[in-house]
Amino acid sequence: MSSNPGRPRFDAVDFAAQYAAFIFLILLVIGFAILQPNFLNPFNLLNVLRQVSISGLIAIGMTFVILTAGIDLSVGSLVALCGLAGAYVAKGGLDSRFAIGAAEQAGNPVWMATGVAILVGMGAGAVQGLAITRLRVPPFVVTLGGLSAWRGAALLLSDGGPISGFTPDYTWWGQGRIWTIPVPVILFAVAAILAHVVLRYTRFGLHVYAVGGNAAAATLNTVSTRRIVFSVYVIVGFFCGLAAFILSARLNSAEAVAGLGLELDVIAAVVIGGTSLFGGVGTIFGTVSGALLIGVLRNGLVLLNVSSFVQQIVIGVILVLAVAVDQAAMSRKGR
């Protein structure tokens, strides 16, 4: 029983589970660069980053949720609701929903639209968090309900149609650039760094891992499991609101069908990034790698003229392989 003082033992399966996405991402980038030189064009790369940043932002929030061994299936629907709520505020109601010129609009300032989109997201997250912690309904069921309910609320709010045509200071958040970097990419990067710091360096972050690792033990050690679980659903709601606002700004339109199927991309990014669905293991670095991996794969396959149907199959297969690695790591843990 001699241990190796000071040096954590190297564990190949754990290592693979943690860094597989990043390693695979690098290999993909190299592969696409060889097969299709246009891939490395800076405009293309920035485009990939911009496309990734919407689902990537939500994936950051989803990482918190999955670290507690939870899940949020409602994010796609919530994006539709938050985007419409923000757009509704920006346009001052449905009457001017298609108005384009600033003169025709009886709208509100952009910060108010952003704030409402984010507050609606956090509010919806709080409702789901309360249902999970107080009513003890499993997260899968609560957020499956949310998947249906938030989409319904979005349709009600918008009367089924889009709200489009925003002022330039609104669309800047989705279409603008600082130097050459698209604004959504900058927001994604800042959010990723902040989330990394919170998870790695704060008590709250440690408690998220503890709850996911062993909720009963965390409770016995005076960690408020309820508060932590509630918080992570509010956090993912925050990111849904922010992402919804950016998406509507990029498309210059918010609609009730926005974000259809987005939950799949988001959960895939987190899980491919090495976060365990059993909770307690995972990093923001992994999630960002997972989100980039999906984006690069889509983009590269498009450039190589591979059918979009095939892309879906490829992403599905990678998702299952990622969970297989996770399972292998888990079963060894339960010696």
Partner 1 sequence: MTPLLELSGITKHFGAIEALAGVDITLGHGEIVGLMGDNGAGKSTLVKIVAGNFAPSAGDMRLGGRPVRFGSPLDAREAGVEVVYQDLALCDNLSASLNIFLGRELTRGIGPLRFLDRRAMAARARELFAELKTNTVPGDLVKSMSGGQRQAVAIARTRLAEPKIVLMDEPTAAISVRQVAEVLELIRTLSRAGHTVVLISHRMPDVFSICDRVIVLRRGTKVADKPVSATSPEEVTGLITGAIEAA
Tokens found for residue 294: 């999906």
Of residues 44 and 225, the one with the C-beta less far from partner 1:
225
Give least dist CB 216 to partner 1, A. 7
Q: What is the Cβ-side half-sphere exposure of residue 26, based on CA atoms within 13 angstroms?
A: 4
**Cβ of residue 215: shortest distance to partner 1, in angstroms?**
9
SS3 content of the chain, % helix, strand, coil (to 5): 75, 0, 25
Is the CB of 210 or the CB of 264 nearer to partner 1?
210
* Shortest distance, position 214 Cβ to partner 1, whole Å: 5
62 Cβ contact partners less than 8 Å away, ≥ 6 residues apart:
72, 75, 236, 239, 266, 267, 269, 270, 287
Judged by DSSP in three states, 30 sits in helix
**Cα–Cα separations (whole angstroms), residue 199 to 22, 216, 232, 234, 282:** 19, 20, 11, 15, 10
Our CB check for partner 1 shows the closer of 41 and 214 to be: 214
For residues 111 and 103, give the distance between their C-alpha atoms in angstroms, rounded to a whole number. Answer: 19
Cα distance between residue 287 and residue 21, in whole Å: 8
**Nearest to partner 1 of 13, 181 (CB atom):** 13
What minimum distance in Å lies between the beta carbon of 142 and partner 1?
24
Tokens representing 281?
Answer: 């293991």
Beta carbon nearer to partner 1, 140 or 201: 201
Buried (b) or exposed (e) across 211-222, using 16+ Cβ within 10 A?
bbbebeebeeee
DSSP annotation of 277 reads T
Nearer to partner 1, 20 or 29 (CB): 20
Q: Judge whether 293 and 28 are in contact, CB under 8 Å.
A: yes
Pick between residue 310 and residue 332 the one whose CB is nearest to partner 1: 332
Q: Between 259 and 280, name the residue whose CB sits nearer to partner 1.
A: 280
Cβ closer to partner 1: 36 or 275? Answer: 275
HSE value, Cβ hemisphere, 13 Å, CA-based, for 266: 32
Rounded to a whole number of angstroms, the minimum distance from the CB of residue 268 to partner 1 is: 22
- List the beta bridge partners of residue 178: 181
How does DSSP classify residue 138?
A: -
Smallest separation (angstroms) from partner 1 to the CB of 14: 9
Least spacing, CB of residue 330 vs partner 1, in Å: 10
Contacts with partner 1, residue ranges (CB under 8 A):
1-6, 8-9, 11, 201-203, 206, 209-210, 212-214, 216-223, 280-281, 333
Q: What is the DSSP letter of 178?
A: E
Smallest distance from partner 1 to CB 196, Å: 12
- Give me the DSSP letters along 285-300: HHHHHHHHHHHHHHHH
Minimal distance, residue 281 CB to partner 1, in Å: 6
